[in-house]
Amino acid sequence: MHKYQTYARSRTPGRNEHHGPARRDSSELAAARQVAARFVAARWPTLAEVEPEVTRQHDGRQPCHDLIARLGMAENELGHHARSATYTFTFTSQRKTADGAMAPLVAAVTVDLQRRIVKTSLSK
Amino acid sequence: MHLALTPRRRLRQHYSQTYDTLSSALDDALAARADAGVATLAYDPEDGMPELGVAPSPLTPAALTTQLATIERALREHNGIMIDSLWVIGGPETVPFGVMPNPMRDRDGPILSDSAYGMANAQDLLTHWPVGRTPDSGADNHPSLTHLLSLTAKAHRAGPQPQGLALGISTARWAAVSTEVFAAAGEPAENVLLAPPLRAGMIDRQRLAEARRIYCNLHGVTGSAAWYGQSPDDSELIPALRPADLAGLQLDRTVVITQACFGARLSTTNGEQSMAMALLNAGATLIGTVGISYGAPDPPASESDLLALQLLIALRQPGQRLGVAVREAHAAVLRDLLRRQGRLDNDDTKTLLEFVLYGDPALPV
């Protein structure tokens, strides 16, 4: 598994340019990653040494207008996305069953910029 | 109008000496549909629909999806007819699953699902029409598809059945989520069996036979056909349900909702048929995933837990068709997520695209 990647940068900053946004992204990501890693290690030791894949979700996937219409919803029924941008850390491994089969073990932990865990999904 | 994708040319190639028997079973199933008032337009993609100006298509996911879009447009523009459902005959070796990008970074590969044949995608997660498939496990299991088509014909002729009981089977680790789902669906929590103490070979077969809806919140694995339970302390996974546990059972008209990873896998493992095939051969229909599925380890329910909840509700609606119930469940999950979150996360997206229906979508629930 390759090391985590950031997706926030649109270009590499030049020598004399302000480095603020990129550096902030890196520190935000590192802090979020630490929260996720601790959470996962405490619950699923198998995943403690796993490097997670990282996805930055600004606001999740926006539904198309046709879908909203076919659901019989109005645009103003959509929930307000109060939470800030988040990072989802996906830790992937396997674990052996009692009889020697292999079960996927995937934990996807979403952390916001306030370092709160907003969602945890686990493979079945 | 209900469509039936009947790849007779390819089925003849795969089934060769037993094709005539298979073809008779397919004709009988289509006749039973017609007798039940299900107006069906059966077509072989490799022939196209010349009467509608639809060209032949190879049996590849992209070509089949394109052809379906053409069929939909032709039916709508020429005849003012809408597609009510799509029934796919044959396993993935005959008619491949649709292939969609996997938004989760879980090494699971692309999403393999029939949702693509209902025109669903990551931007438009609700199928435009229900899709169901009557499969087989591969070319080495010839009797299965013929048998399943015969069961389908029998089910259409029997008509709607009384609603009946629901049974839940869950890992002990996920007991809180499973009982939350069952309770929210209006089902009694005492009908959820926990594994452990349940282990493979121990299930009360009478309870299985009596259930009209079976909800399985168990682990799925590679290297074994079983579905697995897990202790509350998150320790090892232990077989909870094996195909052999179903031997001789008749599960006609039972709908199985499985959240297990690979729960809709059709291929054999170490010579043992899959749980999905064992359930189908016993007469059940099944809703599950070919790949990795997701949910919550603890309440509140999420992803496939939410879909299972809505399926349990939708499958109780009298007079409903199976495919419509499945689609309604998806719609209910989408409405709930969009009202709460306004957007959809990657795991929500994967969940809504990856579940497949094994069964005739036009069957009454």
Predicted pLDDT of residue B42: 98
- Give the tokens for residue A117: 């865990």
| Contact of A97 with B171, CB cutoff 8 Å | no
Set of chain B residues whose Cβ sits within 8 Å of the Cβ of A97: 219, 221, 224, 228, 236-239
Q: Containing H/E element for B332?
A: helix B322-341
B343/A60 touch (CB, cutoff 8 Å), yes or no: yes
At B345-362, the pLDDT tens digits run 899 999 999 999 999 999
At B243-286, the pLDDT tens digits run 999 999 999 999 999 999 999 999 999 999 999 999 999 999 99
The alpha carbon of residue B173 is apart from the nearest alpha carbon of chain A, in Å, by: 11
Interface test with B, best of A47, A66, A88, A124 (most B CBs within 10 A): A124
B261/A103 touch (CB, cutoff 8 Å), yes or no: yes
Tell me which residue in B223, B261, B348 faces A124 most closely, judged by beta carbons.
Answer: B261
Backbone dihedral angles phi then psi of residue A9, each to the nearest 5 degrees: -75, 135
Interface test with A, best of B104, B177, B306 (most A CBs within 10 A): B104
d(CA A57, CA A8): 10
Backbone dihedral angles phi then psi of residue B361, each to the nearest 5 degrees: -65, -15
- Secondary structure (DSSP) of chain A: -PPP-----SSPPPTTS--HHHHHHHHHHHHHHHHHHHHHHHH-GGGTTPPPEEEEESS-BPPPHHHHHHTT--GGGSPP--S--EEEEEEEEEEE-TTS-EEEEEEEEEEETTS-EEEEEEE-
A101/B226 touch (CB, cutoff 8 Å), yes or no: yes
- Give the tokens for residue B100: 């969609």
Residue with tokens 């309870």: B207
Alpha helices in B118-274 (DSSP H): 142-158, 175-184, 205-210
Predicted pLDDT of residue A16: 41
Confidence of residue A6 (pLDDT cuts 50, 70, 90): very low
Tell me which residue in B219, B238, B345 faces A124 most closely, judged by beta carbons.
Answer: B219
Set of chain A residues whose Cβ sits within 8 Å of the Cβ of B238: 97-99
Set of chain B residues whose Cβ sits within 8 Å of the Cβ of A78: 338-339, 342
Q: Tell me what the pLDDT averaged over chain A comes to.
A: 81
Predicted pLDDT of residue B344: 87
Residues 183-242 of B with CB under 8 A from A: 217-224, 226, 228, 234, 236-239
Q: How far is CA B244 from CA A27, B156, B206, B215, in A?
A: 54, 28, 15, 19
A88/B228 touch (CB, cutoff 8 Å), yes or no: no
pTM of this prediction? Answer: 0.93
Predicted pLDDT of residue B143: 65
Set of chain B residues whose Cβ sits within 8 Å of the Cβ of A70: 126, 128
Residues 258-287 of B with CB under 8 A from A: 259-261
A81/B345 touch (CB, cutoff 8 Å), yes or no: no
A106/B295 touch (CB, cutoff 8 Å), yes or no: no
Q: Decide if B152 touches A, using CB distance below 8 A.
A: no
- Residue B228: beta bridge partners? B219, B239
Predicted pLDDT of residue A83: 55
The alpha carbon of residue A16 is apart from the nearest alpha carbon of chain B, in Å, by: 36
| Contact of B178 with B57, CB cutoff 8 Å | no
The alpha carbon of residue B90 is apart from the nearest alpha carbon of chain A, in Å, by: 27
Contacts of B296 (CB under 8 A, 6+ apart): A120, A121, A122, B177, B302, B303, B305
Backbone dihedral angles phi then psi of residue B325, each to the nearest 5 degrees: -60, -45
d(CA B194, CA B29): 38
CATH of domain B2-158: 3.40.50.10390
What do you get for the CA distance between the two ends of chain B, in Å?
19
d(CA B24, CA B18): 10
Q: What is the pLDDT along chain B (365 residues), one digit of tens a residue?
A: 999 999 999 999 988 889 999 999 999 999 999 999 999 999 999 999 999 999 999 999 999 999 999 999 999 998 899 999 999 999 999 999 999 999 999 989 999 999 999 999 988 999 999 999 999 887 555 568 999 999 999 999 999 988 889 999 999 999 999 999 999 999 999 999 999 999 999 999 999 999 999 999 999 999 999 999 999 998 889 999 999 999 999 999 999 999 999 999 999 999 999 999 999 999 999 999 999 999 999 999 999 999 999 999 999 998 899 999 999 999 999 999 999 888 888 999 999 999 999 999 999 98
d(CA B191, CA A113): 42
Going from N- to C-terminal start, the domains of chain A cover 20-61+82-122
Predicted pLDDT of residue A81: 61
The alpha carbon of residue A6 is apart from the nearest alpha carbon of chain B, in Å, by: 14
**Is the pLDDT assigned to residue A11 strictly greater than 70?**
no
B106/A99 touch (CB, cutoff 8 Å), yes or no: no
Residue B124's Cβ-count burial label (10 Å; 0-12, 13-18, 19+) is middle
d(CA B150, CA B161): 18
Residues in chain A: 124
Mean pLDDT of the region A27-50: 94
DSSP 8-class letter at B49: B
Set of chain A residues whose Cβ sits within 8 Å of the Cβ of B338: 63, 68, 71, 73, 77-79
d(CA B159, CA A68): 34
Asked whether the domain spanning B165-317 has the same topology as the one spanning B2-158, the reply is yes
B338/A123 touch (CB, cutoff 8 Å), yes or no: no
- Give the tokens for residue B362: 């036009």
Going from N- to C-terminal start, the domains of chain B cover 2-158, 165-317
Q: For domain B165-317, is the CATH number 3.40.50?
A: yes
Could you tell me which residue, A59 or A115, shows the higher pLDDT?
Answer: A115
Residues in chain B: 365
Nearest-CA residue of chain B relative to A72? B335
The alpha carbon of residue B145 is apart from the nearest alpha carbon of chain A, in Å, by: 28
By C-alpha distance, which of B97, B100, B119, B117 is closest to B109?
A: B100
The alpha carbon of residue A36 is apart from the nearest alpha carbon of chain B, in Å, by: 15
